[in-house]
Amino acid sequence: MMHNDRNENETAKSLDIVANNIYHGTQDHMDGAWQAEQSDFARSLNHSNFLVTETNAQTLGWDSAGQFPPYDGQMRLDVYSYLASGANMVEYWHWHSIHAGQETYWKGVLSHDLEPNRAYAEVSKTAHELQKIGPQLVDLKIKNQVAILYSVDSDNGINFMPYERDGERGWTPGKAGDSYGNQIVQLHRSLYNANVGADFVFPDTANLAEQLSPYKLLIVPSLYVADDALLKTISDYVQNGGHVLMTFKSGFTNENSAVRWQRAPGPLREAAGFNYQEFSNLEHPLALKGDPYHTGDKNQVSDWAEFLQLEHAQALAYYDHPFFGKWPAITRNHYGSGELTYEGTQLSDTLQSKIVLEALKSAGLTTPDQQLPSAVHVKHGTNRDGKQLHYYLNYSSDEQTIQYPYAAGKDLLTDATIAANQQITLKPWDLAIVEEVK
Amino acid sequence: MMHNDRNENETAKSLDIVANNIYHGTQDHMDGAWQAEQSDFARSLNHSNFLVTETNAQTLGWDSAGQFPPYDGQMRLDVYSYLASGANMVEYWHWHSIHAGQETYWKGVLSHDLEPNRAYAEVSKTAHELQKIGPQLVDLKIKNQVAILYSVDSDNGINFMPYERDGERGWTPGKAGDSYGNQIVQLHRSLYNANVGADFVFPDTANLAEQLSPYKLLIVPSLYVADDALLKTISDYVQNGGHVLMTFKSGFTNENSAVRWQRAPGPLREAAGFNYQEFSNLEHPLALKGDPYHTGDKNQVSDWAEFLQLEHAQALAYYDHPFFGKWPAITRNHYGSGELTYEGTQLSDTLQSKIVLEALKSAGLTTPDQQLPSAVHVKHGTNRDGKQLHYYLNYSSDEQTIQYPYAAGKDLLTDATIAANQQITLKPWDLAIVEEVK
Amino acid sequence: MMHNDRNENETAKSLDIVANNIYHGTQDHMDGAWQAEQSDFARSLNHSNFLVTETNAQTLGWDSAGQFPPYDGQMRLDVYSYLASGANMVEYWHWHSIHAGQETYWKGVLSHDLEPNRAYAEVSKTAHELQKIGPQLVDLKIKNQVAILYSVDSDNGINFMPYERDGERGWTPGKAGDSYGNQIVQLHRSLYNANVGADFVFPDTANLAEQLSPYKLLIVPSLYVADDALLKTISDYVQNGGHVLMTFKSGFTNENSAVRWQRAPGPLREAAGFNYQEFSNLEHPLALKGDPYHTGDKNQVSDWAEFLQLEHAQALAYYDHPFFGKWPAITRNHYGSGELTYEGTQLSDTLQSKIVLEALKSAGLTTPDQQLPSAVHVKHGTNRDGKQLHYYLNYSSDEQTIQYPYAAGKDLLTDATIAANQQITLKPWDLAIVEEVK
C-alpha cells in the first residue's frame, strides 16, 4: 500500500471491501505504529471495516538473513491491534512453510515439519478467544477528529525532485528513500504516540470540503503537487475554523508538478501568512534557537529550510545559525476563525511529536489518553451492540500498569469487571479489551 | 579453489597431480593460515603431494591500488610453508613484470626493469637452499587425525538462501560474502592456531565411511545440503566412537536443497540429541550467559540462533537474552561410543578456537604443539628417507623462541644439531626444519 | 573542464576566446580556490583573458537535495574573484529559474516568481559597480613565475590503473575518484594558500622548452604518461637552472602507457638523482619520521610509497615504519644549475603546502603576500592603463584586517586613498581593489 506507482484511493472505488497485506517489525521492533497506520489507511479508503489478507506468521524473507520470529505474545497482540483499528479478519501468509523455492524462509504458522509449534499454539489460543468474543469485536465503528491528507501525486513529484539523498529515517518497511512516505510515517506516529486516532483523506475525492468539515485538525504533509482548487479547499477549511498542520514544499507546484510562477506558497499565501522566494538544504542538522520545545539533543531540524518572510503569521521558532537564523523555522497564522501551523523544515521525531501535541491542544483534542505509559496504546470504537470498546495494548516485554479513565465495564478477555479509574495491569505483549456496561 | 560454481573433488578424479594457485596476504597480513588451508585442500583431493602453480611474486592487482610487496623473508617463508604442507613445487606468477595490459601491476619476481632486485635475491637464496636440501623435503607424507567435511552443495545451497547479508568475517581473499567459505576458514584457522593439521573429506566419495574411520575428529561446517545416506554415515561415525563438531543448519535440506518435512535436524536427530522447529537471525551479537569460555569481549555469537529443544544432549552454553536464553547455543551429545558437539549459532573467532580446542582435548588430540607462541606454527611429516621432519615457521617481524619437544635431530637449513627440549630461536619471518636423527 | 575524455589544450587551438563554466561550493564551502584554479586553467589555454559563461546563480541541482544559496556577499565576491584572475565577463546559468523539467532546481538569478529578490539585489549592485569601474578592471594582464604541467594522458593512464580506490580527498566538484585531478587541486591550492599565482602548461605544446624558460618553478604532478622528449625537456629545464617539484609515478610509462623497461624513473633518473625498482601501496597512512615539517597530526602520507634508492639526491624525509623507513619519502637533487624536489608518496594537504612553500623559497619567490590572514587572498595584474591592480578578497564570514605592502593607490570600489603599509579592513565576503597611483 502507498506504493507510488499506484493510486489506492482510485483503486478502492471499485472494491466492495478493502484488503491490506501488512508486514511489520517483530521482536524489539514491534510497537504497533505500522499496524495502526496501515489499518487507518485501509479503513479510510472506503470508510468501512477492512480485511488483513496477509501478515507475519513466523518469519519473512527471500533469504534466511531476515528471520525474526515474534516474541511470545506478539502474534496474538498483532491480531487485536488490527481488530482495534477496524479489521474484520486477519489472515496469515501462510498456513505452513514451503519446502523449496523463493519463499522457503517466508515461514507459515507451521514450520516445515508440519507439526504444532509455538506459533500454532498462540494462533490457536487467539482463535479460540475470537470464537467466544468475536461477535462483540467485529464491525467496530471508529470516529476520529484528525485527518491526514495523503497525496500520491506529491509523493511522485517529490520522488522526482527529492530534497534528501538517502531518504530513510527510522524503521519503515518497504519505504526506503521515500521522503514523503517517511513524513506520513512520522506524522502518523506522532499522533499514535499521543493515542489519537486518525483517518486519511485524499485530494481526488469529489466532496472533499464536505468530508473535511467534521475534522478538528487536518495534517498536510508536503503537499508538493496540488491544483488551485485543492489549495483553496484547505484555505477555506482554515477560514471556517479548521486547524491545519502543514509541512514545507506545500503548494510549490501545480497539478502538473510545474513550479508556480507566483510568489510561494502560491494560493496558500493568505492562509499561511507568509511568503518565500528562497530555500536551502541544510548541510548539517541545526538546532532551534533557545531550545523552545525543551527537547535537548533532539532539538534538531534538518534537510530543508524555507526562507519564510512573515506577513500575518507569527514565528514559533528560529534556526540557531548566523545566516539561516534570519528566517523562522515554524510559524502559526490565524486566518478567519481557524489557524495554520507551518513547518518550513524537517523536524526531528521528538520535535514533531511536540508540535503535533501542541496542535492537538490548540484544536481542543487532548484527553487522558495522552497520560498512558509510552509502551501502552489505546484505541476506541463502538461495536455492533452500540457499546463503547477500549483496547489497551502493551507493546513491550515489561508489565505495564494504567489507570482506566472511562465508564465502568468489563474486560472481554477475562470477564473481569473494570471500574472507572481502576488500575489495570497488562502483562508483556498482552492487552485488555474493556466494553463499557452502559 | 573452492569456488562454488565447480566441484573440485569431482574434477580431481581426472587429474594425475593436483595443482593450486594460492594467493595470500602479505606484509602485516601474512600468518600462513591461508597457505595451510589451501595446501591441505589440494593435498586432500587425491591424497598425495601437489603443486603450487601460482603464488605471489612481488605484488598483485588489476590496478595499482593493491600493491603490497612482501617484507624481507616473507617470500622464502612462503615457499617453506607450502613444502611443509606437502607441496612438491612452488611456481610464481610470474618471472618478470609485464609492461602493458590488465596485469601490468601483477608484478613478477623481476620488476619491469628486468634487473635483479630484492625479490630476486630472496627467491635465489631459497632456490639455492632447495638445490641442497630439496631431496630431504620433497614427497613429504602427512598423516592427520582431524578431517573437515567440505560440501560444495552446501556452499551453493547457503549462497542461494544466505543467513547473513554481507558475509565477510576476517581476511579471506576472493571469498567476499561467502558464509560457508568463511566457516571453513574459521574452523581450519582454529585448528591452525592449535597447530593441528587437517585433511578435507568430501561427501561425493565412494567409500566415505571407510575413509572417515581413521580420523579421531570430524568437523562438519553447516552441512545444509545432504542426502539421508550422508547423514547416516556421520551418525554411524559417531555411534562407532567418532567425535564430531558440527555447526548450525546441518541436515536442514535434502540433496535437492528442499527443506526436510521431518522435525529438524532430520536424520541427525538421534546423534545430535535435540530437535528444533524454529530459528532466528540475531539482529545484534549476543553474549553466552556467564562467559563460560572466559573470552571477555570476544564472548560473542551472531547471525543465527536455532531454538534447540534438548532430548538426550546436554547444553554447554546459553544465550544471555530474555527470549533467546530459553534455548541452548551449544550442545554435546554422547551417542553410541562417540560424541557430537553442535553449535546452533555463529561463534566469534575466539570462541570457535576455544570450542575446537575443547573438541581436540575430548578426542585425545592435544600435544606440546599447543604451547607454541602464537606467531610460530609447526608442521610435521615423514620424508622419503622415512625420517620425521618438524617445520617451525615464524610468521612475525619479531624474533621468537620455542622449546623443541621431539627427538633429537638437526636443522637442515643450518646443519645445527638440535637436542630434545632444546630452545630454538627463530629470526623474523624465518624458520627451522628439524629432521629427527632416528 | 579537465574532464579526462577530452583534451582542452588541443581544443583551445581552434577557439578565438576561451570560455569556462565554473560551478563552485557556496555557503561554508566558498574559499575561492576552485574559482582561481579554473580561471588559471582557462587563461592558460590561449594565454589571454577568458569568459566565464556559466557560474552559480542561486542554487544548483538536478534534484532539490543540493540547494545551497550563497551567503550575503558571496555572489559579488565571486564576480571579482574571476575578474582578478583575468576573466573579461561573468554570466549566470541563468536569468530566471525554470518552472519544470530536469533543471527546475538549477535556480537562476530570479526565483520562479520572477520578482526581484536577494540574489537580484546583489547582482544588480555588482553590475552597477562594474558599469563605473569596469574599464579599469577588464583585460587584466597577469604574469606568473610558477607553472603547473597538466598532462591529460597521465590523467587517463592513472585512471586506467588507479593507485587509490575511492580517490576523493577534499571538496572537488565533479572530480570524484580522480586521483590525478585531486593532485592538481591539492598542488594549486597549496600555491593559492601562499597567494602565489600559477599558469598551466601542457605537454602537447610545440615550443614547450621555450615556454617553460621564464618560469622559476615548474610543478609536475604524477607525469605517469610521457615520451622521452618530454622528460628530456624537464631534465634540461632543471639543468639550466629551473626548479621542479615533481610527484610519484612520473616517468613510469611511455607515451603509450606502457611501463618503461629501464630502471625507474627512466629518462628522469639523472635529474631526479635516484632510481627505484619497487613500490607499495600504504594500507594505512604513515607519519614522516621525526615530524620534520612540524605538522603534528597532519604529519601524514598515504596511498603510495616508492622505494627510492638514492644516487645523487639527498633525502628530505623518511617514513616512520620498520620496513618502509629504509627508503626516503621526499628527496631533493641538485642537477646542473637547478634542482628537482620529488615526492615518492601522497602528502597530506598540510604537508603539501609546506613542501610547496619550501620550493617557493628555494626558487626565490616569497613576498609579503604569504603573511596575509588565511581567509584573505590577493591577486595582482596590470590593467589597460598599465597600472598595477591588487585585489584583496575576504572569503569568510568574519571581518579581516590586512597590511597593504605595495605602492600607494586608491580602492576603486570606495575611492578611498590607500597609503603604502596602511591597514585595510575587509567586511565579511567583501574586497578591496587597490589601483597603484604610479
pLDDT, one tens digit per residue, over B205-240 is 989 999 999 999 999 999 999 999 999 999 999 999
Long-range contact pairs involving C45-49 (C-beta distance under 8 Å, separation at least 24):
C45/C8, C45/C9, C45/C12, C45/C15, C45/C18, C45/C200, C46/C12, C46/C15, C46/C17, C46/C18, C48/C17, C48/C18, C49/C17, C49/C86, C49/C87, C49/C88, C49/C138, C49/C139, C49/C140
Kindly tell me if the per-residue pLDDT of A18 is higher than 50: yes
Distance (Å, rounded) from C-alpha B231 to C-alpha B254?
Answer: 10
- Under an 8 A CB cutoff, do A111 and B323 touch? no
Cα separation, C196 vs C216, in Å, equals 12
How large is the average pLDDT for residues B350-363? 98
Return the exposure string of A36-61: e unless at least 16 CB atoms fall within 10 Å of the residue's CB, then b: bbbbbbbbbbeeebbbbebbbbbbbb
Question: Which A residues, 290 through 309, put their C-beta within 8 Å of a C-beta on chain B?
Answer: none
Note whether A73 and A429 are within 8 A (CB): yes
The helix (run of H) or strand (run of E) holding residue B34 is: helix B33-45
Cβ neighbour number for residue B418 with a 10 Å cutoff:
23
b/e for A162-191, b at 16 or more Cβ within 10 A?
A: bbbeebebeebeebeebbbbbbbbbbbbbb
Check if the beta carbon of residue B179 is closer than 8 Å to that of residue B158: yes
Write the residue in B262, B277, B322 that is nearest to A397 by C-beta: B322
**With bands split at pLDDT 50, 70 and 90, how would you rate the model's confidence at C1?**
very low
Q: What is the rounded distance in angstroms from the CA atom of residue A117 to the CA atom of residue C235?
A: 82
**B114: distance to nearest CA of chain C, Å?**
7
Angle at A134 between CA A128 and CA A136, to 5 degrees: 140
Tracing cell 590572514 back to the chain, one arrives at C373
Q: How far is Cα B390 from Cα B136, in angstroms, rounded to an integer?
A: 12
Amino acid at C201: V
Give B177's pLDDT tier (boundaries 50, 70, 90): low
pLDDT of residue C357: 98
Q: Is residue A44 classed as helix, strand or coil in its secondary structure?
A: helix
> Which residues of chain C lie closer than 8 angstroms to B27, CB-CB?
280, 283, 323
Q: How far apart are CA C245 and CA C267, in angstroms?
A: 16
Q: Do B100 and C164 touch (CB under 8 A)?
A: no
Q: Indicate if the pLDDT at residue B173 is higher than 50.
A: no
Confidence of residue B164 (pLDDT cuts 50, 70, 90): confident
Read off the pLDDT of residues C298-320 as tens digits, 9 standing for 90 and up.
Answer: 999 999 999 999 999 999 999 99
| A56, A62, A75, A112: best to mutate for the B interface, most B CBs within 10 A | A112
Distance CA A156, CA A255 (A): 12
Distance CA C312, CA C416 (A): 55
Cα–Cα distance for residue pair C275/C292, rounded to 1 Å: 23
DSSP state of C69: P
What confidence score (pLDDT) does residue B206 get? 87
- Three-class DSSP category at A30: coil
Q: Region C226-233: what's the mean pLDDT? A: 98
d(CA C375, CA B420) in angstroms, rounded, equals 73
What pLDDT is attached to residue B175?
39
| CB pair distance less than 8 Å for C67 and A281 | yes
**Is residue A176's pLDDT more than 50?**
no
Residue showing cell 580556490: C33
C-alpha pair distances (Å), C224 with each of C158, C160, C260, C267: 7, 11, 11, 13
Angstrom distance (rounded) from CA B71 to CA A293: 60
How far apart CA B212 and CA C395 sit, in angstroms, is: 76
Residues A186, A167: contact at Cβ < 8 Å? no
B431: three-class secondary structure by DSSP: strand
Give one DSSP letter per residue of C229-268, joined into a string. Answer: HHHHHHHHHHHTT-EEEEETTTTSB-TTSPBPSSSBTGGG
Report the alpha-carbon distance of residue C35 to residue C51 in Å, rounded: 13
Query: CB-based contact (8 Å) between B326 and chain A?
Result: no
Q: What is the pLDDT of residues A236-287, one digit of tens each?
A: 999 999 999 999 999 999 999 999 999 999 999 999 999 999 999 999 999 9
The reply to whether B264 touches chain A by the CB within 8 Å rule is yes
- Say what angle helices C33-45 and C74-84 make with each other, to 10 degrees: 30
Provide DSSP, C190-240.
Answer: HHHHTT---EEE-SS-TTHHHHHTT-SEEEE----B--HHHHHHHHHHHHT
Q: Do A67 and B323 touch (CB under 8 A)?
A: no
User: What are the DSSP calls for C106-142, one per residue?
Assistant: S--SB-TT-S--HHHHHHHHHHHHHHHHHHHHTT-B-
Kindly state the average pLDDT of the residues C50-58: 98
Element (H, E) at B394: strand B388-394
Those residues with Cβ within 8 angstroms of residue A127's Cβ, 6 or more apart along the chain or in another chain: none
Instruction: Give yes or no for residue B109 having a pLDDT over 90.
Output: yes
The pLDDT value recorded for residue B438 is: 75
Q: Which helix (H) or strand (E) holds C56?
A: none
- Could you give the C-alpha distances from B99 to B68, B177, C252, C269, C367, in angstroms and in order? 19, 33, 10, 19, 46
* Rounded Cα–Cα distance for residues A73 and B225 (Å): 34
DSSP per-residue letters across B47-104: TS-EEEEEEBSS---SSSSS--PPPTTHHHHHHHHHHHTTEEEE--B-SB--SSSTTT
C253 touches chain A (CB under 8 A): no
In this structure, what C-alpha cell is assigned to residue A202?
485524499
Q: Testing the interface with C: which of A280, A284, A319, A327 to mutate, by most C Cβ within 10 A? A: A280
Say whether A409 sits in a helix, a strand or coil: strand
Grid coordinates representing C212 are: 617553460
Distance CA A184, CA A174 (A): 14
SS3 B345: strand
Percent of chain B surpassing pLDDT 90: 94
Q: Calculate ∠ Cα C128-C130-C132, nearest 5°.
A: 80
Instruction: Please tell me which residue of chain C has the smallest CA distance to A252.
Output: C112
Answer whether B224's CB lies under 8 Å from B253's CB: yes
The pLDDT assigned to C164 comes to: 87
Cβ A49 vs Cβ A86: under 8 Å: yes
Q: Which cell numbers in the block locate residue C42?
A: 582557462
**Whole-angstrom Cα distance, residue A28 to residue A32?**
11
pLDDT above 70: percentage of residues in chain C:
96
Q: Residues B59-78: pLDDT tens digits?
A: 999 999 999 999 999 999 99
Calculate the average pLDDT of chain C: 95
The rounded distance, in Å, linking the Cα atoms of A176 and A179 is 8
Q: Determine the Cα angle at A307 with ends A304 and A310, to 5°.
A: 135
Element (H, E) at A52: strand A50-55
Q: Touching check for B102 and chain C: CB below 8 Å? A: no
CA neighbor of C358 nearest in space, from C390, C377, C331, C329: C331
Residue C143 has pLDDT above 60, yes or no: yes
Q: A78 to each of A38, A96, A372, A429, C47, how far by Cα in Å?
A: 13, 19, 20, 9, 75
Give the closest residue to A10 by CA, choosing from A255, A221, A204, A224: A204
- Asked if B255 and B239 count as a contact pair (C-beta separation under 8 A), the reply is no
Percent of chain A with pLDDT over 90: 94
Crossing angle of helices A74-84/A118-137, nearest 10°? 20
- Using the beta-carbon criterion (under 8 Å), do C113 and A165 form an inter-chain contact? no
pLDDT of A166: 60
SS3 state of residue C302 = strand
- CB B301, CB B291: distance < 8 Å: no
Out of B161, B259, B322, closest to residue A112 by CB: B259
Segment B149-156 shows an average pLDDT of: 94
With cell 516485554, the residue in question is: A397
Averaged pLDDT, A71-85: 98
Whether B255 shows a pLDDT value over 80: the answer reads yes
Tens of pLDDT, residues C164-217: 876 433 333 333 468 999 999 999 999 999 999 999 999 999 899 999 999 999
> What is the pLDDT confidence band of residue A169, given thresholds at 50, 70 and 90?
very low
Task: Residue B122: list chain C partners with CB under 8 A.
Answer: none
Residues 6+ apart with CB under 8 A from B151: B202, B203, B223, B224, B225, B226
Q: Does B68 touch chain C (CB under 8 A)?
A: yes
Cβ atoms within 10 Å, residue B171: 13
